[in-house]
Amino acid sequence: MIGDQLTAIARPYARALMAVDGIDRAALLARLEAAAQALSDPAITALAENPEVPRARLAAALASGEPDSSPLARLIDLLLQNDRLAVLPAIATVFAALKDDAENRTHATITTALPLSEPQRERLRAALARRTGRLVDLVVETDGRLLAGVIVQYGDMVLDGSIRGRLAALAHALSPF
């Protein structure tokens, strides 16, 4: 519930960032994620929780050298004015999703028992691109516990073609309850 509320609050901010003309969205996303990550730093948290700390000092710490007129610096200042700094990580997440949609891109995680060769990766990327209708950024991981096969995860979809997954499905099907 709280996550949904944060996403609802974050969405207009992220959309406003997407609407900024002439911006390098990838660079902005990297800076947004860095600022969101900085909120987990105990020193930054102490600054944020201390009412004696001037807002400009906290904004400068989070924007890490950004000019005051940059979209990130203006966003942080606006969040501080509205006492919504805690929404910054959700804004970064929503902005990343909007950026991916604008670029017709999706992300997939492939987990295999053994490392994949580059041609195998490209075949998987092409197959996922055909299935999703989007460009696919792959993250490939190996997990020796799979025995054999592959697990593909993109969005909220999981395709489990591993031996371990098939054995688990068989055990579930054979169990009475």
Residue 138 burial (C-beta neighbours within 10 Å; 0-12, 13-18, 19+):
middle
Q: Taking the mean position of all CA atoms in its chain, how far away is CA 117?
A: 26
Per-residue pLDDT of the chain (177 residues; tens, 9 = 90+): 566 888 888 899 999 988 888 888 888 898 989 888 888 888 877 777 777 877 777 777 777 777 767 888 888 888 888 888 888 899 999 999 999 889 898 888 889 888 888 998 899 899 989 988 889 888 888 887 877 888 888 877 787 777 777 777 777 778 776
Tokens describing residue 152: 């593909």
Given this model, what pLDDT does residue 177 score?
A: 62
Given this model, what pLDDT does residue 34 score?
A: 87
CA distance 47 to 176: 57
User: CA distances (Å), 50 to each of 55, 119, 135, in order?
Assistant: 10, 54, 44
In degrees, to the nearest 5, what angle opens at C-alpha 152 toward C-alphas 146 and 153? 120
Given this model, what pLDDT does residue 1 score?
A: 53
Question: Which amino acid is it at 66?
Answer: E
Tell me which residue of 159, 100, 99 sits closest to 127, measured CA to CA.
159
